[in-house]
């Protein structure tokens, strides 16, 4: 199955920007993809979802308008562009994926069940 590797996490100040990358070991054109995050002491939180062909995206209310998820043109990865970062965005960010045969029409919002996870990349936003 596909393996995922995130990169791009860093420490920035409030209002700053970062782009996280998720490199996939296989073609992800038939994978539902997304990003999740876990802040210290909190449960994992869904951040964004991008559908199979990369044309439709969905975002959690806390990041909508500030974050943008996209699939790479070659469909071997995805990115999460983050702008106007806030201290509450501080978390470990995880790339996630699920194949079409397991997800079907549920690839939207937080309605899908990730089957593969990356190791995570840390984002820290200081005030």
Q: Give the tens place of pLDDT for each residue, 114-127.
A: 999 999 999 999 99
* Residue 17 confidence (pLDDT): 98
Do residues 99 and 107 touch, judged by C-beta distance below 8 A?
no
Q: Give the tens place of pLDDT for each residue, 23-44.
A: 999 999 999 999 999 999 999 9
Q: DSSP H helical segments within 1-127, as ranges?
A: 100-103
Q: Which two tokens stand for residue 53?
A: 């062909």
* Residue 75 confidence (pLDDT): 85
* Residue 70 confidence (pLDDT): 97
- Residue segments in the chain with a per-residue pLDDT below the cut of 70: none
């Amino acid at each position: 199955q596909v393996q995922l590797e995130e990169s791009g996490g860093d420490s920035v100040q409030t209002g700053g920007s970062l782009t996280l990358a998720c490199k996939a070991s296989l073609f992800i054109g038939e994978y539902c993809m997304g990003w999740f995050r876990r802040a210290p002491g909190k449960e994992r939180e869904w951040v964004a979802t991008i559908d199979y062909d990369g044309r439709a995206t969905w975002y959690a209310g806390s990041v909508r308008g500030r974050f943008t998820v996209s699939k790479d043109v070659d469909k071997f990865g995805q990115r999460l562009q983050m702008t106007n970062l806030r201290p509450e965005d501080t978390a470990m960010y995880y790339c996630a994926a699920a194949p079409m045969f397991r997800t079907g029409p549920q690839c939207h919002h937080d309605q899908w069940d990730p089957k593969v996870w990356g190791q995570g990349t840390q984002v820290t936003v200081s005030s």
